[in-house]
Copies of this chain bind each other. A is one copy, B any other.
Amino acid sequence: MGQDSFTPQKRSSIGGGGLPTTNNAAAGGGRARVLAGMPRGRQIHKTFNNIKITILCGFVTILVLRGTIGVGNLGSSEAEAVNQNLIEETNRILAEIRSDSDPNDPDEPPETEINPNATYTLGPKIRDWDQQRKVWLSKNPEFPNFVNGKARILLVTGSPPNPCDNAIGDHYLLKAIKNKIDYCRLHGIEIVYNMAHLDRELAGYWAKLPLIRRLMLSHPEVEWIWWMDSDAFFTDIAFEIPLTKYDKYNLVVHGYPDLMFEQKSWIALNTGSFLFRNCQWSLDLLDAWAPMGPKGPIREEAGKILTANLKGRPAFEADDQSALIYLLLSQKETWMDKVFLENQYYLHGYWAGLVDRYEEMMEKYHPGLGDERWPFVTHFVGCKPCGSYGDYPVERCLRSMQRAFNFADNQVLKLYGFRHRGLLGPNIKRIRNETVTPLEIVDQLDIRRSGQGKTESLS
């Protein structure tokens, strides 16, 4: 074998900047030139080398394409591009909507530091609200606080003004408000759905405090403000709150006296669903409740106090529920005579023990009971479908919320002659044929007609 006539030319462009291509791999003529005059062994070796380079280059090309157009989308790059376009446009406008400053607003204040030393207040101290309200009601008989013998209730709920981190969250916020609309329509209750941050310091779960105060002062005709979390669903559409039970009380909240006073548990009551009477006492309670709320060092330090004093409380910043428990425990004589810890029915019903029993409930019981047999409210504590991280598996939460929604919706659809096929899917089916005398059904089934002031059985 003679001297190798090969000179160290680049046979691929790897050493340079570009990607290797199969063009540079030994092929056809190039190979023939190189192989002339070489021993067979070396020919094989060279051929082998070239094949290796060819395969490797081909492989790299595929990987690069894959990275560019996406895994498995070799055939659907156009749809992918359109979808990607849509997502990008949406994100662009969302970023603009989300941004704090509006270029068109001339009096946007500069960001000010929240001064932890300044005493936080919900507003100027009002001392004669009962009197003011009484005078107003007497002057405005067209806005009575009792309608058809029933005290006027305003249900308040809400969610943040920005889209949820998890896309499915907005869908369940929508279903939750539809659920509340249905219940409130059937019970003559008005709704305020809040999407505004009324107070920058009392953000998050504390936001309900300035909101409740604001609504009380703006709606003197309202006797009870009923706060309800956005992740709570009405599941007994027939049940009516027994308001006369609370004639002597100003705060009705689901809770357990023993958990409260003996165990000092941080879940002794639940502020996901409670009623505040529109009166001076409530304004005072809000003022006493708020001080742990301002975000930052105050809320952090308050959280430590609460964790130290309430059984089972994890370490995190002060939340409104723990703060209320702590307030009622530490100032028991001031407040507790007007607080009703209700547990005869599920003004708040913790979802985990309820949602798997809906079929059993449908088999054995009926709407109107409001308790563990047919829960008034199913509250998805800890699911946080709007955020990214809940305390439970997403799948379990979504499935359960859908079941609660359908369970409630069945009770609404009954008047219209339908029910859901199952508790999970969206489809419905007829349970009754249409007739030419539809009002007979209305007489039997309209919850409002059979249920005025009702708190018990409706077959």
Number of identical monomers bound together in the oligomeric complex: 2
How far does the alpha carbon of A223 sit from the alpha carbon of B271 in the complex, in Å?
39
**Is A236 an interface position by the 8 A CB rule?**
no
Q: Which of the candidate stretches A188-196, A318-326, A349-357 sits at the interface with the other chain?
A: A188-196
1/0 per residue A418-457: CB within 8 Å of B?
Answer: 1001111111110000111111011000101100100000
In the complex formed, the residue of B with least CB distance to A128 is B436
1/0 per residue A391-404: CB within 8 Å of B?
Answer: 00111001100100
In the complex formed, the residue of B with least CB distance to A452 is B142
For chain A residues 37-91, which have a beta carbon within 8 Å of chain B?
A: 39, 41-42, 44-45, 48-49, 51-53, 55-57, 59-60, 63-64, 66-67, 71, 82-83, 86, 89-90
**Is A101 an interface position by the 8 A CB rule?**
yes
Q: Point out the residues of chain B lying under 8 angstroms from A92, CB to CB.
A: 395
**Do the beta carbons of B175 and A105 come within 8 Å of each other?**
no
**Is A201 an interface position by the 8 A CB rule?**
no
Q: Which of the candidate stretches A2-10, A243-251, A336-344 sits at the interface with the other chain?
A: A2-10
**Do the beta carbons of B97 and A196 come within 8 Å of each other?**
no
**Is A32 an interface position by the 8 A CB rule?**
no
**A60-B59, A90-B398, A174-B170 in contact; A102/B422 too (CB < 8 A)?**
yes
Partner of A52, one of B14, B162, B438, B449: B14
Q: Point out the residues of chain B lying under 8 angstroms from A164, CB to CB.
A: 171
Q: Point out the residues of chain B lying under 8 angstroms from A416, CB to CB.
A: 198, 214-215, 218
**Do the beta carbons of B86 and A52 come within 8 Å of each other?**
no
**Do the beta carbons of B425 and A99 come within 8 Å of each other?**
yes
**Do the beta carbons of B60 and A162 come within 8 Å of each other?**
no
Q: Which of the candidate stretches A118-126, A288-296, A375-383 sits at the interface with the other chain?
A: A118-126
How far does the alpha carbon of A59 sit from the alpha carbon of B196 in the complex, in Å?
51
| Size category of the binding interface on chain A | 35 or more
**A4-B39, A4-B41, A193-B181 in contact; A148/B159 too (CB < 8 A)?**
no
Smallest CB–CB gap between A21 and chain B, Å? Answer: 12
How far does the alpha carbon of A251 sit from the alpha carbon of B448 in the complex, in Å?
28
Partner of A428, one of B167, B198, B218, B448: B198
Q: Point out the residues of chain B lying under 8 angstroms from A235, CB to CB.
A: none
**Is A413 an interface position by the 8 A CB rule?**
yes
Partner of A45, one of B6, B123, B127: B6
**Do the beta carbons of B426 and A98 come within 8 Å of each other?**
yes
**Do the beta carbons of B167 and A425 come within 8 Å of each other?**
no
1/0 per residue A167-184: CB within 8 Å of B?
Answer: 110110111011001100
Partner of A196, one of B44, B96, B413: B413
**A3-B39, A45-B8, A86-B388 in contact; A426/B162 too (CB < 8 A)?**
yes
Known contacts A63-B63, A100-B425, A124-B436; 14 further A-B pairs (Cβ under 8 A): A4-B42, A7-B41, A15-B48, A53-B53, A53-B56, A56-B56, A67-B71, A89-B393, A102-B427, A163-B168, A163-B171, A170-B170, A185-B191, A185-B192
A-B contact pairs, 25 of them (CB 8 A): A1-B4, A59-B60, A63-B64, A96-B399, A97-B426, A101-B425, A102-B423, A104-B359, A125-B436, A127-B436, A140-B449, A161-B426, A163-B168, A167-B167, A170-B170, A170-B171, A174-B174, A174-B177, A177-B193, A182-B193, A185-B190, A196-B413, A196-B426, A217-B438, A218-B415
